[in-house]
Amino acid sequence: NVTLYPISVFDEGVVDMLAEGVVEPLVVKMQVIKSAVDVASMILRIDDVVAASEPAMPAGGPGGPGGMPDMDDE
């Protein structure tokens, strides 16, 4: 038999939640985990869409001008 004694904001103290009729069923915890997984999946999908929509890097520009002519040829 598990007895829970969290703090009550209404009584400003520690109370037995089962005696108060407050029960958190397993279904609620399962829904919280499912919702967290759904949110994480959505964030990853959004990241994939943003990464796919970024333009590719453009090609480099034309080459620069030639250097000075060879000074040894006289």
Residue type, 63: G
Q: What is the pLDDT of residue 5?
A: 66
In sign, the C-alpha dihedral spanning 32, 35, 37, 43 is negative
Q: Over range 11-19, report the average pLDDT.
A: 80
Q: What is the pLDDT of residue 13?
A: 84
Which residue in the block uniquely carries the two structure tokens 């037995």?
16
pLDDT digits (tens, 9 = 90+) for 30-52: 999 999 999 999 999 988 888 88
Three-state SS across 36-59?
Answer: HHHHHHHHHHHHHHHHHHCCCCCC
Does the pLDDT of residue 23 top 80, yes or no? no
Closest CA to 17 of 2, 27, 5, 28: 5
